[in-house]
Structure 1
Amino acid sequence: MLIDTTLREGAQLFGAYFNTSMKEAIFSGLLALGVNELEIGWVGQDGLEELVGRVRKGTGRTRLSVWSPCREADVRAAASLGVDRINIGVPVSDLHIEKRLGTDREGLKERLARTVLAAGLLGIDYISVGLEDVSRADPAFALETACLARDLGASRVRLADSLGVLIPPETADLVRTFRSRLDMDLAVHCHDDFGMGTANALTALKSGADFADCSILGIGERSGIAATEELAAYLSIREESHAYRTEGLRALCSRVSEAAGIPIPRTKAVAGEDIFACESGIHAHALGRSPALFEPYDPDRVSARRTLAVGGKSGRAAIAHALHRSGLPHREDDIPALLEAVRDRAHRLRRPLTAAEFAELALIPEKEIPC
């Protein structure tokens, strides 16, 4: 169960500014993907009321939520938006309680009680309480706060590894601890500061969490969070436990990349241009026999394409396969000289050859092939 927060956490990315049309395009792509919940922004965000008004209808089964600080005034503002859910953030580490909020543990619980009760009185049916910086908090106090939220009428507790310091086994332990005490929805928000965001989110789902936050390309504060496209692809393609519509993922990633000014690395999981590209001789030859030998899933599942090219890493079998695939006339005796010419040109160009470049070399008479 994915809570996409590209329009909230993702919009907090340094230097990212999404205009209304960009937000609507991203929103439409996420609806098409079929995420379970869309956290569309935060209370006080410029243009939030207008955006909610424009997209509120026609969301189907996807729930619409907003994030709010743990303050009664902000909860009232959230209630006026008419969204399905409100996500109230409350820090539970002593460092945040003292330095950020200027209070103590008892003061924090009092503030939480007032805010959650106010949300209930305002008619908000589904209240989620996010325990921020839970990975650096006193576990007993964090669990006590979660139980308080439950007793006050909250529907969900969200565990936030706000600085991305956990590893999967620690995430599993954290989720199991809360799962054993809470008979309510449980979510996680995993930051990616040490590259563990997606792995932690997936581990949490496998360890008893009902929801995991994510954003397209993992964008967000600092290094961002778990990546929507990676989680959706794994859950739908590898695990086959969900029915996210992954064919539009790459187009959605490109849209977010353009809107946020974040280039997509060509080897980026799911979204990269070259994730189904192969030059290596052994792998290229094997792919020619059966793609399943070196591809984890069919490229069509994410609307990608397979690219086989010859270059400096190719061997005789790859050259022969390329000649056969291209329908170029050749003799077996031509292959050694052609292989040497291909490798030489690829090293000079510092890349694999295009189909036209390969054909040019293949059609040169043997005695004229530059060696």
Structure 2
Amino acid sequence: MQKINDIFQNYKGIIDTTLREGAQYRYSSFSLSQQILIVKFLSKIGVDRIEVGNPVIDEVRKNIVRLVQIPQRPKILSHIRNRFSDIDLAIESGIDGVNILCTVDPARLKAMHLYLAQYLENLRKNILKAQANKLEVRVSVEDFFQANEDVAMKVFQFSQNLKVNRIGIADTLGVAMSWDIEKRLTRLRKFLSTDIEVHFHNDLGQANSNAISAIKSGANWVDTTLLGIGERSGITALSTFLAALYIFDPEISKRYRLQYVTQAENTLAGMIGKEVPFNLLTNRENGFAHKAGIHLHALVNFGPETYEPISPGVFGNVRHLVYGTEISGKTDEKTVKDFYQKYGKS
């Protein structure tokens, strides 16, 4: 296993976007009271930033006005387009920062009746206006991994010269692999010193792995959502990323109160009317379930660490030893009770 100095030396924080990307999940429709509860859970866990939607939507703007009044919370950032109306309404809503999404797609620029030079001039005005209002600013390019890299770099360098807080890159289609991440990030870091934020979709099941590869290769901030919910197959799950952080560097993970993660993700699952996915460690029934005879034998005789990379109690969950099945071997009820008495369920 690699040392933390090789993997997380660039890491600065988590930007949770459950209230923006997560709202794009098919079954999401968060009421204001649910949004407040989500912010409180994320604050309790200790995520570093929270991203919300675009205040050009009346209902979103009204909710933002309420959310920013919550005490003892992380900074709340609004995801907006490179448009004057968006920045004005973001400022009006009382937000702490803006995440400005840009396009370098010639077809989209043409549809907006803009040349790239005009688009960059609009971006300059929006960045300066945000900064004049003491807002944190990130500039990203949509679908960076499919975009024209030379043009995207122009946007990034232009933004860096204006001293934005972060540059954002997204794998919007969810098809990038770890070697793509390493190659692109290494190249970006030759030209950019500004913090880099990454946003990975999970269509090929690589979102968490890609986030770790990105941090190792020079990125600083990772976008997550509770349960990993989002458009299509979602993005990097908060619980899974925090688990990786805990395994590779328990010291950095002490910044976060991991014991609330299971409760937070199960609460969100209730909001959307779905079960916590069986393959997440926050699933209370299966996240730490052991059934195979060889596993049960090892746990009973050598302790939980033989088949648990993380103790379930770290994330506020419990373990289950499943016996009496055709594959559970000789483990019986008494053996399981003795195990729980010695090691506990968490």
- 1:158 alignment partner, SS class: strand
Q: CA deviation at 1:138?
A: 1.7
Cα distance in 1 for partners of 2:114, 2:207 equals 30
Q: 2:149 aligns with which of 139, 157, 177?
A: 139
User: C-alpha offsets along residues 173-215 of structure 1, whole Å, 9 cap, x if unaligned?
Assistant: 2222222212222111111121111211122122211111111
Structure 2, unpaired ranges of 5+: 1-12, 339-346
Question: 2:129 matched to 1:118?
Answer: yes
- Structure 1 residue 118: Cα displacement: 3.3
Alignment-derived partner of residue 319 in structure 2: 306
Deviation by residue 1:286-337 (Cα, 9 ceiling, x = unmatched): 1112111111111110111111121110223x23xx334448xxxxxxxxxx
Structure 2: distance between partners of 1:267 and 1:183: 37
Question: Structure 1's 8 and 326: CA in aligned 2 closer, same or farther, altered over 3 A?
Answer: closer
1:74 aligns with 2:93: no
**Shift in Å at residue 152 of structure 1?**
2.7
Paired-residue identity, %: 30
C-alpha deviation, 1:46, in angstroms: 4.3
Map 1:188-227 → 2, pairs under 5 A: 188-227=198-237
Does residue 167 of the first structure (1) align with residue 177 of the second (2)?
A: yes
Question: 1:340: which partner in 2?
Answer: none
Determine the structure 1 residue equivalent to 2:7.
none
Aligned to 2:188: 178
The one-letter amino acid of 1:83's match is I
For residue 190 of structure 2, give the secondary structure of its aligned residue in structure 1: helix
The whole-number CA distance in structure 2 between the counterparts of 1:229 and 1:213 is 12
Q: Kindly report which structure 2 residues correspond to 1:11-22, keeping only aligned pairs within 5 A, or say none.
A: 11-22=23-34
**Structure 1 letter corresponding to 2:206:** M
87-96 vs 207-216, greater mean Cα deviation: 87-96
**Residue 271 (structure 1) aligned with residue 280 (structure 2):** no
Q: Following superposition of structure 1 onto structure 2, how do residues 270-349 of structure 1 map, counting pairs within 5 Å?
A: 270-271=282-283, 273-289=285-301, 290-310=303-323, 311-316=325-330, 318-319=331-332, 322-326=333-337
User: CA 1:326 to 1:73, structure 2 compared with 1: closer, same or farther past 3 Å?
Assistant: closer
The letter for the 1-side match of 2:155 is T
> Which is worse superposed, 88-97 or 143-152?
88-97
Q: Is 1:150 the equivalent of 2:164?
A: no
> Which amino acid in 1 is paired with 2:135?
D
How far off is 1:59 after superposition? 4.8
Instruction: Give the deviation of 1:272 after TM superposition.
Output: 5.1
Check if 1:52 corresponds to 2:64.
yes
Instruction: State whether residues 265 and 272 of structure 1, in contact with CA within 8 Å, keep that contact through their aligned partners in structure 2.
Output: no
Instruction: Please say if 1:106 is aligned against 2:117.
Output: yes
**Deviation of 1:26 (Å):** 0.8
Candidates 18, 35, 48, aligned match of 1:23: 35
Mean Cα deviation higher: 48-57 or 178-187: 48-57
Q: What is the one-letter code of the residue matched to 1:109? A: L
Q: Structure 1 length as normaliser, TM-score?
A: 0.81
CA distance in 2, matches of 1:59, 1:35: 15
Q: Secondary structure at the match of 2:160?
A: helix
Shift of 1:162: 1.1
Counterpart of 2:8 in structure 1 is: none
3-state SS in 2 of match to 1:130: strand
Query: 2:341 maps to which residue?
Result: none
Distance 1:158 1:326, change over 3 A: closer
After TM superposition, the structure 1 stretch with the greater mean CA deviation from structure 2, 231-240 or 182-191, is 231-240
Query: 1:362 corresponds to which residue?
Result: none
Q: 1:249 aligns with which of 261, 285, 290?
A: 261
Structure 1: gaps of 5 or more residues = 328-371
Given residue 307 of structure 2, which amino acid in structure 1 is its aligned partner?
F
TM-score relative to the length of structure 2: 0.86
Q: Provide the C-alpha distance between the structure 2 equivalents of 1:61 and 1:184, rounded to a whole number of angstroms.
A: 25
Q: Does the alignment pair 1:88 with 2:100?
A: yes
C-alpha distance in 1, partners of 2:237/2:67? 23
Q: Say if 2:200 is the partner of 1:187.
A: no
What's the RMSD between the two structures over aligned residues?
A: 2.1
Indicate how the Cα distance of structure 1 residues 248 and 76 shifts in structure 2: closer, same or farther if over 3 A, else same.
Answer: same
Structure 1 residue 248: Cα displacement: 1.0
**What is the alpha-carbon distance in structure 2 between the residues aligned to residue 55 and residue 306 of structure 1?**
36
CA distance in 1, matches of 2:57, 2:263: 26
Q: Secondary structure at the match of 1:42?
A: coil
Contact kept? 1:87, 1:128, Cα under 8 Å = yes
Letter in 2 for 1:257: A
1:3 pairs, out of 8, 12, 15, with 15
Q: Which amino acid aligns with 2:57?
A: Q
CA contact (8 A) 2:43 2:73 kept: no
Once the 2 structures are TM-superposed, how far is the Cα of residue 40 of structure 1 from its aligned partner?
2.5
CA–CA distance in structure 1, aligned partners of residues 207 and 113 of structure 2 = 30
Cα distance change, pair 252–204 in 1 and its aligned pair in 2 (3 A): same
- Decide whether the 8 Å contact of 1:236 with 1:244 is kept in 2: no
